[in-house]
Amino acid sequence: MPSPMESYRRYLDPRVLDKLGRLELKARTAVEGFMAGLHRSPHRGVSVEFAEHREYVPGDDLRHLDWRIFGRTDRFYIKRYEEETNLTLSLVLDASESMSYAGPGQVSKFRYGAMVAATLAYLVLKNRDAAALALTDVGVEQWVPPATKPSHLLAITRAIDKAELVRRTDPGLVLKELSAKLPPRSVVAVISDLFAAPDRILAGVRELRTRRQDVIVFHVLDRDEIEFPFDRMTRFEGLEGLAPLVADAKALRLAYLRAFEAHQELIRKGCLRHGVDFQVLPTDTPLDVALTSYLSLRAKRGARR
């Protein structure tokens, strides 16, 4: 078992954090920018100020039951209050087998995705906002509920450490399952290679959107998957239980790229339709560059809004 410090370091590159920190100083706060667009909405949470009622669903905290309404109507209602914390960032990190792919000399997609998740969590926690993490494959494998304390980052990186990367992905199912768990009106960052049926992925995204979640999709890909640089007779051993294939890679390249790009395009368009940010993150792009550019873009947009 690695020490807490090690798992911490594994996903947080000091240089990245340094860069992001400077960004924060320079452009007011990247995180504020990151959370932009949510600030003007009233946030619900545990607060003295009552906001609304909603019907009880199993799993709700019984402390928030409104017994008076129960006495009047025999129905369970949950009292909801204005939240003191501004925001919850829910990180959904794909831990399926396909994420384990790493091109030569590159980190694996999962590792890269974990770094993205840890960095974002760091930024959010630093701003005293809440961060949550879900490690997913066919279902939600690990769930780290939202919290605001700085030590929560450690809980998140430990959870990531435990990932096994052996199962298949079903983002549709996962997102549906999560949508019930996540606090409403939070920011959900999905970090995945999205190797699944586009309609299942989009169905999950839609589910989140109907719950008023602000969704960001980070499409983590290896450069090999984008450009397919193979040119020899190759045996491709499929991950996630797919059949192996022996073929002249050169001959297959064009058709592969077509299929791959069509898939990505479908998802990109679907995200656009649902008002979801879609960001491709190739694993060979330095993390600071990738995140800085995305965050500053989002900050600008938030300012405009």
Partner 1 sequence: MSLSFGNGALLWGVLLLVVPLLIHLLNRRRYRVVRWAAQEFLLEAFKRTRRRLTLESLLLLLLRCLLVVLLALALAQPFVPSSSPLSLFSPAQRDVVLVIDTSYSMGRRAAGGEALLERAKAQAGRVLDGLSSERGDQVTVVALADPPRLLHSVTTDVARAREAVERLAPDWRGADLVRTLDYLTENVLGDAHKEVYVLTDLQRETFHPGASAAPESAAAAEAAATPASAWRVAAEHDCRFTLVDVGEEAEAHNLAVEELLPRPENVVAGEVVSFTATVRNRTPRDLRAVPATFVIDGQREQGRRVTFDAPAGGVAVVECSTIFRASDAARANHTVEFLLEEDDLPADDRRFLAFPVHQAVSVLLVDGDFAPEPELRETALLCDMLNPSLDPETGGTVFRLRVVDDRRFNGRAEDPADYDLIVLANVARIDAEAARRLDDAVRAGRGLLVFLGDLVDARSYNERLHRADGAGLLPARLLEARGDVREGSDAVFFPLVDDFQHPLLRVFSDPELRQNPTSVPIRRFFRTEVSSKDQATAVIMKLNDDPAAPGALLLEKPAGRGRVVLFTTTADSAWAGWLDNIETYLPLMQETAYYLTLPDLSLFNLKVGDALRRTTESIPAEVCVLRPDASRDPIRDTPREMEYGEFVLPAYRATGVPGLYGLELTYPLSGAGSDAGRREVEHFAVNVDVAESDLARVEEPAFRTLYPGVEVAFATEIDARQVEQAEARAGELWRAMLWALVGLLAAEMALAWWFGRQFRGGGA
Q: Does 166 sit near partner 1 (CB under 8 A)?
A: no
Q: Does 109 sit near partner 1 (CB under 8 A)?
A: yes
Q: Helix, strand or coil for residue 8?
A: helix
Residue 99 or 160 with smaller CB distance to partner 1: 99
Q: Does 251 sit near partner 1 (CB under 8 A)?
A: yes
- Residue that is written with structure tokens 């549906």 in the block: 176
Q: How far apart are CA 148 and CA 139, in angstroms?
A: 25
Subset of 178-207 contacting partner 1 (CB under 8 A) = 193, 195
Q: How far is the CB of 243 from partner 1 (least distance, A)?
A: 7
Residue 143 or 256 with smaller CB distance to partner 1: 256
Residue 250 or 269 with smaller CB distance to partner 1: 250
Residue 122 or 195 with smaller CB distance to partner 1: 195
Q: Does 223 sit near partner 1 (CB under 8 A)?
A: no
- For the purposes of burial, counting CB atoms within 10 Å of the CB of 63, is it exposed (0-12), middle (13-18) or buried (19 or more)? exposed
Q: Give the strand order in the sheet containing 140-147.
A: 140-147, 130-136, 88-94, 187-192, 214-221, 277-282
H or E element, residue 188: strand 187-192
CB 80 within 8 A of CB 50: yes
CB 202 within 8 A of CB 272: no
Q: Report DSSP letters for 242-282, one per residue.
A: PPPEEEEHHHHHHHHHHHHHHHHHHHHHHHHHTT-EEEEEE
Binder to partner 1 among 228, 274, 284, 285 (CB under 8 A)?
228
Q: Does 240 sit near partner 1 (CB under 8 A)?
A: yes
Binder to partner 1 among 258, 269, 273, 300 (CB under 8 A)?
258
Q: How far apart are CA 156 and CA 35, in angstroms?
A: 20
Q: Which two tokens stand for residue 178?
A: 């999560």
Scored b (16 or more CB within 10 A) or e, 72-97 reads: eeeeebbbbbebebbbbbbbbbbbbb
Alpha helices for 13-108 (secondary structure H):
14-26, 30-35, 67-73
Q: Does 112 sit near partner 1 (CB under 8 A)?
A: no
Q: How far is the CB of 232 from partner 1 (least distance, A)?
A: 6
Binder to partner 1 among 65, 69, 147, 252 (CB under 8 A)?
252
Binder to partner 1 among 180, 259, 272, 303 (CB under 8 A)?
259
Residue 257 or 272 with smaller CB distance to partner 1: 257
Count of beta carbons in the 10 Å neighbourhood of residue 64: 15
Q: Does 52 sit near partner 1 (CB under 8 A)?
A: no
Q: Which of the ranges 73-81, 126-134, 225-233, 293-301 carries the binding residues for partner 1, by CB under 8 A?
A: 225-233
Residue 136 or 213 with smaller CB distance to partner 1: 136
The C-alpha angle 9, 20, 186, rounded to 5 degrees, equals: 90
Q: Which of the ranges 24-32, 92-100, 141-149, 198-206 carries the binding residues for partner 1, by CB under 8 A?
A: 92-100
Residue 164 or 261 with smaller CB distance to partner 1: 261
Residue 76 or 256 with smaller CB distance to partner 1: 256
List interacting residues with partner 1 (CB under 8 A).
Answer: 97-101, 109, 193, 195, 222, 225-228, 230, 232-240, 242-243, 245-248, 250-261, 263
